[in-house]
Amino acid sequence: MKRILFLIAIALLSIEALNGQTTDSLKYKVITGKEFQKGFTDNRDAVLIDSRDYKDYRKSRIPGAVHVDWPIPEEYFKGKDAPSKDKPLYIYCYAGNRSKKVSVVFYDHGYRNIYSLKGGFDGWRINKMPFEKKRLPRR
Which residue numbers are catalytic?
93
Dihedral over Cα of 111, 27, 90, 45: its sign: negative
Nearest CA among 31, 19, 20 for reference residue 103: 31
